[in-house]
Amino acid sequence: MGALHAGHISLLQSSTNENDISVCSIFVNPVQFTNPQDLEKYPRTFENDCRMLEDAGCSAVFAPSVDEMYEETPLMKLNFGVLETVMEGASRPGHFNGVGIVVSRFFNIVQPDRAYFGQKDLQQVAVVKRLVKDLAFQLELRVCPTVRETDGLAMSSRNSRLNSQERDAAPFIYQMLSEAKANLEKGIEVSEVVDLVQKHFLSNSKFQLDYFEIANADSLQPLDTIGGAGSNAICIAAFLGPVRLIDNIIF
């Protein structure tokens, strides 16, 4: 959706390494926003985005207007079942319907052989995987690792909305993910780890925790006990000031 950073560019670099032509879409999709103020405040840096993409070897930028993408308000509703009943889906009803609609349109218009998504939006990745499978899109989905700042904060367009004090506090989210992972690997019960993280957030007045979940990395359903290697996801969403940040670790 624009406001590009090194994490986005890493997706483009993965594409340019594997394909002759790489297309990047830039479109702030109104259909996936459940909060009108969030849509209004979403950072828009189109000219700088285009410079970054050109420098990184992007072949073409697909940047339609809202009227071009949605001549009429879409009537179709997509239901992703249990995938949208938890975490982002529970906090933002209707969000993944909007994601599914716009991604389907991008796939139909551009007709890519491969599509690149970042792990930071883990639930979006799961939804798009389901979309590709159920609607038989003839493409390969690539999931690329989350790119982080040196202090661990996951790169996000929303980070630009943090003031200096909030930016200094923001790595707390990754610290909580890392602490939870270490505790789970020590054999501490899932419920105890969840309680501990929730208490840490209650004691940190800068944050308002939206959710903290330990879930299956594919279905995103909550776990009572952790599974095998690579099958577990620790997911978090929290408000820091007015800005909502998400992050996750898979282990």
From the candidates 5, 8, 95, 200, which is the catalytic residue? Answer: 8
Inter-CA distances, 37 with 34, 48, 64, 88, Å? 9, 23, 22, 18
The single residue listed with the structure tokens 């004691």 is 203
Residue 179 structure tokens? 């602490």
8 is catalytic: yes
For the chain, the C-alpha Rg in angstroms (whole number) is 18
Identify the CA nearest to 133 among candidates 109, 110, 105, 100: 100
Q: With 0-12 CB in 10 A as exposed, 13-18 as middle and 19+ as buried, what is 39? A: middle
Element (H, E) at 215: strand 207-216
The single residue listed with the structure tokens 């993910």 is 177
What phi, psi does 99 have (nearest 5°)?
-60, -45
Residues with a known catalytic role: 8
